[in-house]
Amino acid sequence: MTEVAKEPRPGRNDLCWCGSGQKYKKCHLESDGAGRTVPRPRPRRPALVPGRVTPARAVPAGIPRPDYALTGQPGGTGRDVKTAGELERLRRACQAAARVLRIGGEAVRVGITTDALDAICHDEMIRLGGYPSPLNYRGFPKSICTSPNEVICHGIPDSRPLADGDIVNLDITIWLDGMHGDCSATFLVGEVDEAGRRLVRVARECLERGISVVRPGRPVGDIGRAIEPHAAASGFGVVRSYCGHGIGETFHTSLQIPHHVDPRARRVMEPGLTFTIEPMITEGRWDDALWDDGWTAVTADGRRSAQFEHTVLVTADGAEILTTE
């Protein structure tokens, strides 16, 4: 996913950032948590503590590699609209990503470490002839992202065992046939409380709402306009610092897909456009913080976050979900 540059909030009497034409104080001030004192809610469980990170897993010499595999630095931004031949290759990569996500999800259980989940998914990607896209992307040290509880995204697999009642997102991207296929899902670990199950359910619904409005001739901002009200109606926040992104021969193109209402998201969708939709939904505030590892994004209030993601294609009359088996 792409990180979005943060902008200062408007003043109380300024026009709201959402483009409604109303003053900020009459529109989004309360939901943004601005201009009022909000007690910091206690996390529902002890805060996560980073575990031990093992060395990066080896990729056999015969597996083709993306341009950043050795240097860590991707080159170019790629094209957002794909040809028929490119779509054929992208579909294969996306189907492979969906398979790896299913296999990784089936392994989620109480007591397994996120490092072990990384190993399972890494081995399956290699078996399929693909390269784990996150591996050494801008220096990321593992093959998948694992994000439990209050981790929003980009969690690094480590030695911490999953505990009964956890939720955990597995974010899978594979580079296969010269294309990146990207998807994620949040899984329940053991007996999860009703609030956690509801968070996960609404996060899945938010993804479905976002996909439902994809059609040519409409701005990508429609996606956030479909997601944020649904999350807010359930009392949840939508993370703004990270968004969906264009994808294909490059992991992230310059195209950004916000999941909240953002009037700047004016790119018009057209047939052949491919991107991810991956809303990150929080129990509390949408504000985020970053661990010292430079990757792990967590909720600022320590409450849980859930996420689901698909790579989608804009078709002549709607959307095609590419990350399915």
Whether 284 has a pLDDT exceeding 50, the answer reads yes
| The pLDDT of residue 20 | 47
What does the pLDDT read at residue 46?
81
Closest CA to 107 of 120, 90, 126: 120
Indicate the number of domains in the chain: 1
Is 143 contained in some domain? Answer: yes
Would you say residue 63 lies in a domain? no
pTM for the whole thing? 0.88
User: Is 152 part of any domain?
Assistant: yes
Any domain includes 73: no
pLDDT at 208 over 70: yes
Q: Is residue 64 part of a domain?
A: no
- CA-based torsion, 155, 157, 160, 163: positive or negative: positive
Are 170 and 189 contacting, i.e. CB atoms less than 8 angstroms apart?
Answer: no
- For the segment 233-258, the average pLDDT, to the nearest whole number, is 97
The pair of three-digit structure tokens given for residue 175, joined into one six-digit string = 């580079």
CATH label of the domain that carries residue 216: 3.90.230.10
Q: In the structure, what pLDDT confidence band is assigned to residue 78 with cuts at 50, 70 and 90?
A: confident
What DSSP assignment string belongs to 143-199?
SSEEEETTEEE-PPP-SPBP-TT-EEEEEEEEEETTEEEEEEEEEE-SS--HHHHHH
Task: Supply the pLDDT for residue 192.
Answer: 98
Phi, psi of 169 (to 5 degrees): -95, 130
The residue type of 127 is: R
Residue 296 forms part of a structural domain: yes
pLDDT mean over 41-68: 88
- Using the predicted structure, report yes or no on whether residue 44 has a pLDDT greater than 60: no
Range of the structural domain that residue 317 is part of? 83-321
Determine, yes or no, domain membership for 35. no
Local structure of residue 129 (DSSP, 8 states)? T
Q: Is the pLDDT of residue 235 over 50?
A: yes
- Say if 78 falls within a structural domain: no
